[in-house]
Chains A and B, each alone.
Chain A
Amino acid sequence: MKTSKILPPAINSAPSCAISAIRQAKTLEIALSGDWVLDAQLPALEPILAQIETQAIEKIVVSTAALGRWDSMLVTELIKLIDYAEQKQVAVDKTTLPASIQGLLTLVSAVPERVDAHRDQTRTSWARALTVSTGKAIQHGREMLIFVGEMIISTFATIRGQAHFRRQDLWLYIQECGPSALPIVTLISLLVGLILAFVGAVQLSLFGAQIYIANLVSLGMTREMGGLMTAIIMSGRTGAAYAAQIGTMHVNSEIDALKTMNLDPMAFLVLPRMLALIIIMPLLCLYADLMGIIGGGFVTVNFFDVSLTEYLDRTAHAVKMKDFIIGFVKCSVFGILIALSGCMRGMQCGRSASAVGDAGTSAVVTAIVFIVVADSVMTIICNRLGI
């Protein structure tokens, strides 16, 4: 009886098993033989099922005299046979089976299958898929609005001192998204300044106007590229981290715990992060502008025959305070958008390990889309207003 217990150690040929049926009056005698184990080649059950169907059988007896080893392979086949027989209202005599198989069959049928638990997986037409995805998009939009609304409410609650806001958390987040981001911001901004200088130089040197590289680089960095590149770095670096942090807290029911302690997760988790980014982004932007101008200066002075003093003088003339301010405003807006998409995706995170990964990915994608759209809108507005 202890047949399933031997693990096949290096079998050269697949174990063989067979099933045969003999009809005697209205009884079908099914004989099982050989080893019914996981790596065996199963004989087809269909001919026997067909025999039950066509030959007006009333009773099935299973003989296991020649049965060798067996495991789940045999039991699943027996379940199929018994289910089919029950459908056709044919009695199956289980008493001839080994006791342990009988025990397993009893266990299997001990808890009836929950029919209502089954899920249908039907193929959908493209029209249906379109409706579903439109519905999803609308749902996403609604969730976003709800999130923004909740955030505004808790911002006011915090200002009025009604919500719990941990100041030490704010310093921690500022440390995380500020000083720790300097190396990568330095590298990227230097290179962007360098690229701007090269791109401009090719055109400007045609007219002998290399000196205007300084204008191009400094205006380009302060008004546009400094803020944009910082925002893109920060959305990958900090936005994704926020989504993953809050998402993991969601998976571990930490958010639920906060709620039960009467702490508003918005004020407790989202606001400090957002505030940290709003404070830090303009500073990082200023730093990035400076680095970009240095990168551009390096190229201009070394390759295009302009002296350092001339470059700096031109730069000082070209850039006005308002250019810096436009850059800062843009960058603060980007900061809000990054924190918003990061925290939102984190709060909307599902409760599985892969959901945290999805939250991180979608936080970065959302943030970059938001940033580029917001940047275009702000650039057009500035252009129209003539600032």
Chain B
Amino acid sequence: MAEACITVKDLTMTYGDFVIQRDLNFTINRGDVFIIMGGNGCGKTTLLRHMIGLKSPAKGDVCYGEQGLWQANPKARQQILARTGVLFQSGALLSSMTLAENVALPITEATQLPPKKVREIVSYKLALVGLAGFEDYYPSELSGGMQKRAGLARAMALDPEILFFDEPSAGLDPITAKLLDDLILSLSSALSATIVVVTHDLDSIFAIGNNSVFLDAETRTNIDGGAPQKLLHESKHPNVIRFLNRGDQTEQNSNHRHMRSQA
């Protein structure tokens, strides 16, 4: 059942001489909602940038199926990345274009569909994220949550197999963040896509994640991984326990957290 979708092998990430994380090894299975978690500055977003081809690793590789992303030539890399969609932290919509133009951008780039059909697909994608009717709005005319959902519509424009989310709940109120989490879950089941989420929002981690990796800022490597719920109770690493308990290590808090996440 568990078919490897992305395998990170011996990945070492640096900025100049400064090592962010070294010897990362983990596997993301097809259909996972995979969480990359860790404290601020531990290299979560940097890891994401390595996975989506924006930054080349100092050592090691990110493999999509059998193919290594960074061993492949630029053309092959582009083909691999064509199967992915990315939602950036702030949505990263082009501010000079309407939502429809933003979502249509990857479609018109990759296909030769007639404008009418493109418009239909755009409307469908916007409807999927609950923004039907907002085609001709500019990003600046929307709220932060709506911008993020529009970014998601653009990320899904070409029916990617793998969707990456960078801090989806950052800057959203709890209810909007919850709605976005629900949307991610329903999309993951409807599209049967693999979803990779970078976040440190505990509520999201427990609500949507079924697999994870924990990047430790002290040892600078991935010290633990697995289903977040399981990690909370079974992890042997104090840093992981502390992180998942909001800095608190008492059993009571852990139970409380468990109850909350099940509620």
Contact = CB atoms under 8 A, between A and B. Distances in A.
Contacts of B253: none
A4 interface: yes
A168 to B, nearest CB: 32
Given A2-B192, A38-B111, A353 B124 contact: no
Given A72-B124, A100-B190, A108-B127, A38 B161 contact: no
Contacts of A107: 127-128, 183, 186-187, 190
A119 B131 CA distance: 14
B117 A76 contact: yes
B189 to A, nearest CB: 6
A49 to B, nearest CB: 15
Interface string B93-110: 011100000000001001
Interface string A103-138: 110111111111111110100000000000000000
B33 interface: no
Nearest to B112: A39
B75 to A, nearest CB: 12
A80 interface: yes
Interface in B33-68: none
Contacts of A113: 127, 132-133
A352 interface: yes
Contacts of A232: none
Interface residues of A, number: 41
Interface in A7-27: 7, 9
B192 A119 contact: no
B140 A76 contact: no
Contacts of A354: 95-96
Interface string A35-69: 00011001000000000000000000000000000
A1 interface: yes
Given A76-B120, A354-B96, A114 B113 contact: no
A79 interface: yes
Contacts of A237: none
A378 B142 CA distance: 48
B134 A100 contact: no
B173 to A, nearest CB: 18
Given A7-B79, A38-B110, A354-B96, A108 B186 contact: no
B132 A100 contact: no
A75 interface: yes
B130 A104 contact: no
Nearest to B120: A76
Contacts of A116: 133
B120 to A, nearest CB: 4
A115 B134 CA distance: 9
Contact of B117 (A42, A79, A112): A42
B144 to A, nearest CB: 13
Contacts of A114: 132-134
A115 B113 CA distance: 27
B243 interface: no
B155 to A, nearest CB: 13
A169 interface: no
Contacts of A353: 94-96
Contacts of A4: 159, 191
A111 B132 contact: yes
A79 B124 CA distance: 8
A167 interface: no
Contacts of B192: 1-2, 5, 100
B111 A75 contact: no
Contact of A117 (B113, B133, B187): B133
Contact of A72 (B125, B161, B186): B125
Contacts of A9: 79
A351 B127 contact: no
Contacts of A351: 95, 140
B189 A103 contact: yes
B128 A108 contact: yes
The 6 closest A-B pairs by CB, nearest first: A103-B190, A111-B130, A352-B95, A354-B96, A113-B132, A114-B133
11 contacts: A4-B159, A4-B191, A5-B192, A7-B82, A38-B159, A103-B190, A107-B128, A107-B183, A108-B132, A114-B133, A354-B95
